[in-house]
Structure 1
Amino acid sequence: MSSRSFGLIVVAALATSPLSAQDINRTTAIDDLPRPGYEPRTIRTNGFVIMPMIETGIRFDNNILASDLNKRSDTIFLIEPSIEARRETGDSNLRTRAYASLSRYGKNSRENTSEFGAYLQYRKDVSQKQSLFTKLAYDRTFERRGDPEANFASARRPALIDMTSAELGYGHNGPRVGLVATLGVAKLNYLSVEDADRDMVTYRAAVKGSVNLSQRIAVFVQPFANRRVPRLNRDRFGVNRTTTTYGATTGVALQVADRLTGEVGVGLFHADPEDLNLRPFYGLAANGRVTWRPRTRTAVIFNLFRGDVATIRSGALGRIDSRFDLNIDQEAHHNLIVRGSLGIRNIHYRGGFDQDQRYFDVGVSARYLANRHMWIEPAANHSRRNSANASEDFHKWRVALKMGFIY
């Protein structure tokens, strides 16, 4: 779990009726640009906008175990039903979504997984400048074979995980000064008994104060703190991983002529483990997301993160993750959206050994909207992990073909 501040969670809006010509600008998400005749159909009842959808697909993975020492390939069949609902009034916004994701392997049935979950997000404007917001979420997921600390041999099934979270926040948006305060709690529960030492509860708090230098530029300071409390006092190596992390970032939020929007903050964090055998440490903290729109129908999105992350690695005194992602969305035609992505991630384990891991990911996809009710999307992805421990290295290719059906 990350130690970065638990800020306001933004969820992509459901597509509704086409935008009028004067509404088209560079801040409109590529998926939400007007496409007459291709708008997803929705159900409207009692003030709610509802969108049921089902995605089906087939994916080929040439290295399902994420190991160059024991490569196995397989074909995976996918089915992902979901339903989203939204209700907006003049001073409130309610969004909710429920989903399931089933993966079935052609030759290696032990890898079969079933995910499901739901969230509810609500925002209420209590005055023209003040608002309250909350989010509740539950997810049943699993540990991926390529995760940095994946803890199973090839004969063991993927570990199932329950993730539950809640967040409460307050926002003040004045003409010169802004404030966002958030409190959050997240519970991570591995269902297998042998992974009980990985169960934990994380408490987070953050306050973000900003000052508008102009209509386009604001500066902010965001102190934050979190506390990770494992369910067991000691992990499998006899270490108490209870840790309190606090720090602050400062940065700039900007919106330059609708071409460059977002914010980037950098600062420091201090991690203070409770176990006397684990030394406290400082590190660079960073968090940001910036979108560049050279044209209305092109979006280049940069994401950045660096911070303290939980670990149970043998011999590790702590773990620091650094991530950089670049995504490009392009509307190549009014019913064809092309995407490309590049991701770089470094996992640094503090200790007297080199067990660092470096991930590289690149992917491309193209979504073709056949009509209001159906889309088709081919995709390809390549992943690589390098480590000082050769047994952890892997390369893998995945190609997929998906189809989506909307009511």
Structure 2
Amino acid sequence: MPDDFNRGGNESVTERARPDYDPIGIDAGSFIVRPRVETGLGYDSNIYLTESPATGAAYTVFTPSVAANSTWSRHSVTMTGSANLRRYFGESDRNETTWNAATLGRLDVNSALSLTGEAQFAKLSENTLSGAIDSQAAAFSRYRRDYYGVRGEYRSGQFRSFLALDQSVFNFSDLTLSDGTQIDQSDRDRNVKRITGQVEYAFTPSVSIYGQSTYDWTDYDRALLLSGLDNRDSEAARIIGGFNFDLAGLLRGTIGAGYVRRDFRSSSYKNTGGFSAEARVEFFPTYLTTVTVQAKRLLEDSNINQTTAFFNNTFSVRADHELLQNLILNAEAEVQYQDYIQSPRRNWVYQLSTGGRYLIDNRFSLRLSTQYTERDEQLPFSCPSSEHLAHVAS
């Protein structure tokens, strides 16, 4: 959900306009078209995220994309498309080819009411540190995601409300591990339908309070392949409320907290619930520096052994600094604690990264980044194991 009233009280370092360096785009009548190509070289010290032995490899990356935005005074249409081709030297099993295509249209019915429709189609690689799957297997996991959504927004004075309906369809490809082992992932294929409502009231032009309620239905295509147990079909509800603020020259953001509960349709699994929260606050200590703090506690599906779900607790701090008008530096630290339901399994993930972007002109820029990640997996009756990943890309 959009989380502000377009107050415009603050502007971060990364979103600040730089007319001498921002892409101009191509004027195509009622649209501005912005094509983009990013290419580079990198090195990954542990591409399969194994504790021992670690396999390192250099890689190339090629990422073309295009975006088209309407320039109408009312209504809007946005169309985007991108691909990411990553090729590892000597380790073709780890190669990735992903893509994404999306379109979004907004109909301004009148000054108070607007309707937005959106569709996304993507072929993606699994996040190796997400907690939804063992990290080594995730290095080979690819899936298709189709998303459809419609949202209505109504504004009247100090009130604003939303109602959104969406559906996500996931289809996972078979895993082919480095030793040739084939793993069928069709028991992870699922359809998620969701309805979300939100009401917001602005006490002042700078501060508002909101309440949000979400209900979703998750339907898997088949039973679990290894155990033959019922799959984790479920229904979940979340209620969350909090504040949204934009204090000029100081900070802006959203802080919300509430409760989430998931009920499984099969008696094989235990229903679960607990505290849920999402927060993002940007601080502006100077005009040239933006510090962003994020925290969240979400209930997510798990596909590790007999686990059903886990609470993903994340906290991160990021600083962006404009050293020169065309040289932006950044540094970030993040910690995750993944707490599995009905299981003694716990994961800790630590990430540190830093980088910079040098803008040459309206068409060219250079980027350098480095990242270190460590994952500590704690299992019952065993010592913690660690998976280390050092990653440098330019």
- In the superposition, the TM-score normalised over structure 1's length comes to 0.88
- Tell me which amino acid in the other structure corresponds to 2:253: G
Pick aligned residue for 1:340 from 331, 338, 345: 331
Q: Against the structure 1 CA distance between its residues 361 and 328, is the aligned structure 2 distance closer, same or farther, given a 3 Å change threshold?
A: same
Pick aligned residue for 1:259 from 247, 250, 265: 250
What residue is the counterpart of 1:379 in the other structure?
369
What residue is the counterpart of 1:140 in the other structure?
123
What residue is the counterpart of 2:218 in the other structure?
228
Pick aligned residue for 2:232 from 238, 241, 251: 241
8 Å Cα contact 2:50-2:136 kept in structure 1: no
Q: Structure 1: how far apart are the matches of 2:86 and 2:269?
A: 40
Further displaced range: 198-207 or 284-293: 284-293
What residue is the counterpart of 1:329 in the other structure?
320
SS in structure 1 of the partner of residue 184 of structure 2? helix
Further displaced range: 30-39 or 392-401: 30-39
Matched, 1:178 2:171: no
Give the drift of 1:344.
1.4
Give the drift of 1:255.
1.3
Matched, 1:201 2:191: yes
SS in structure 2 of the partner of residue 306 of structure 1? strand
8 Å Cα contact 1:241-1:273 kept in structure 2: yes
What residue is the counterpart of 2:180 in the other structure?
none
8 Å Cα contact 1:102-1:113 kept in structure 2: yes
Q: Structure 2: how far apart are the matches of 1:185 and 1:325?
A: 29
Give the drift of 1:356.
1.0
Q: Structure 1: how far apart are the matches of 2:204 and 2:9?
A: 20
- Tell me which amino acid in the other structure corresponds to 2:196: A
SS in structure 2 of the partner of residue 197 of structure 1? helix
What residue is the counterpart of 2:202 in the other structure?
212
Q: Against the structure 1 CA distance between its residues 291 and 309, is the aligned structure 2 distance closer, same or farther, given a 3 Å change threshold?
A: same
Pick aligned residue for 2:46 from 55, 59, 63: 63
Q: Structure 1: how far apart are the matches of 2:127 and 2:160?
A: 39
- Tell me which amino acid in the other structure corresponds to 1:46: G
Q: Against the structure 1 CA distance between its residues 206 and 149, is the aligned structure 2 distance closer, same or farther, given a 3 Å change threshold?
A: closer
What residue is the counterpart of 1:278 in the other structure?
269
8 Å Cα contact 2:300-2:311 kept in structure 1: yes
Give the drift of 1:248.
0.4
Matched, 1:89 2:44: no
What residue is the counterpart of 1:301 in the other structure?
292
What residue is the counterpart of 1:4 in the other structure?
none
- Tell me which amino acid in the other structure corresponds to 1:163: R
Give unmatched runs, 5+ long, in structure 2: 175-182
SS in structure 1 of the partner of residue 310 of structure 2? strand
Q: What's the CA shift string for 1:320-352, capped at 9, x where partnerless?
A: 11112222222110110111111111111111x
Q: Against the structure 1 CA distance between its residues 32 and 143, is the aligned structure 2 distance closer, same or farther, given a 3 Å change threshold?
A: closer
Matched, 1:78 2:66: no
8 Å Cα contact 2:376-2:387 kept in structure 1: yes
8 Å Cα contact 1:249-1:268 kept in structure 2: yes
Q: Structure 1: how far apart are the matches of 2:225 and 2:249?
A: 49
- Tell me which amino acid in the other structure corresponds to 1:379: S
Q: Structure 2: how far apart are the matches of 1:264 and 1:386?
A: 29
Q: Structure 2: how far apart are the matches of 1:29 and 1:372?
A: 20
Further displaced range: 161-170 or 339-348: 339-348
**Over the residues paired in the alignment, what is the CA RMSD in angstroms?**
2.1
Give the drift of 1:68.
1.4
Q: Structure 2: how far apart are the matches of 1:392 and 1:147?
A: 17
* Total equivalences in the alignment: 379
Q: Against the structure 1 CA distance between its residues 158 and 310, is the aligned structure 2 distance closer, same or farther, given a 3 Å change threshold?
A: same
Q: What's the CA shift string for 1:284-317, capped at 9, x where partnerless?
A: 1112222222233322222222121112322325
Q: Which has the higher contact order (CA 8 A, sep 6+)?
A: 1
What residue is the counterpart of 1:190 in the other structure?
172
- In the superposition, the TM-score normalised over structure 2's length comes to 0.90
8 Å Cα contact 1:378-1:400 kept in structure 2: yes
Q: Structure 1: how far apart are the matches of 2:384 and 2:48?
A: 12
- Tell me which amino acid in the other structure corresponds to 1:81: P
Q: Structure 1: how far apart are the matches of 2:261 and 2:215?
A: 9
Percentage of identical aligned residues = 18
8 Å Cα contact 2:128-2:139 kept in structure 1: no
